[in-house]
Structures are given as structure tokens and as C-alpha cells.
Structure 1
Amino acid sequence: MNRKILENQYTKESNQSNRVLKATSLLYLKEALVNEQYEDCAELIQAAKNYGASFDEVKQVLDKEAQKIQSELDEDIDEGQDDEVLRRRF
């Protein structure tokens, strides 16, 4: 009886810990994208998946950052920056 209670408690604590680690991994992924540290993204995605992040959760982070980049590009084009300036920027 006591063993079952301990196992249930351990499982609950483990799940809570994994949720925190998953959220932290997704946050680090977002920060890596913002800071253009693309070489770190694969490892961060794998860590998030290991802690229970779904494909859709990872995709949401990637899509949100891609939309920000696209809107910045659109603003630069609207402001009249030429292609050469945009190429140097990215």
C-alpha cells in the first residue's frame, strides 16, 4: 500500500518537473531564434520533445518567430530599403 502511494507521488512530481523543463526548453528555443543562434535550435527542440513537448507546441514557437521576421522584412520593404540592404541584414 505505502509503495503504491510513493510511486504515485513520484509520478506526480516527475510530471510537474517535466512540465517546467518542457516550458523552459521552449522558452530557450524562442530566445535562440530571437538571438539568431540557429545552431542551438535542433538541440533545444530535442530537449523540449524529451520533456513532453508536442510537435504542435514546437511548431507554434517556430511559426511565431517566423511571423515576426516576416513582418520585420515587410516593414523594411515598406520603408523603401533596397534589396542590397536587406541581404546584408540577413
Structure 2
Amino acid sequence: MVITCSFRKDRHFSVQKILAIIQTTSRFDSDIYIVNKGISYNLKSVLGVMNLFFTAASGQVFSIKAEGLDAEEAVRALTKQIENTKT
């Protein structure tokens, strides 16, 4: 099963918030990626995700793509966590 959702970077993502998102992904067996401009970054990998979030412009749109048995649950949890991110 492949599940995809999109979100816009309209909030500041601190190092702690990004690490919390990465930590959430570790609870799931699915392969989870964040996609930007056609490039997929493993959302369980710290360096790629940090670089992506810190270089992305505000308002840029990303997709979260998960593939595996718990993909739907993973995308739902990550979407909720990202939507609750405050500045």
C-alpha cells in the first residue's frame, strides 16, 4: 500500500521539531519518504531531512509518501504532528 499526503511549509521547523518527526517515523515499519521537487528523502534519515527543511523556502509544498503495511497509520500520525507544529 502506498499512501501520499501533501503539506505546505508555512511554519518554522526547529531542530527539535524535525527530530521529533524523524523519531515518529521510527515507530513504523513502512518505508517513509518526504518528496520535494521530484526528489525523495528518507524521512527516517536525519541529515537529508535536516538539509531539506532548512533550505526549503516558506510556502513550499512537500509530500509524505509511505509504502508498507502500516503506511496509512504512519502518514496519518505524521500529518497530525506536522499540522500541530507551532512557531
TM-score normalised by structure 1 residue count: 0.28
Structure possessing the higher radius of gyration over alpha carbons: 1
Q: Give the TM-score normalised by the residue count of structure 2.
A: 0.28
Highest relative contact order (Cα 8 Å, sep 6+), 1 or 2? 2
- Identify the structure with the greater strand proportion: 2
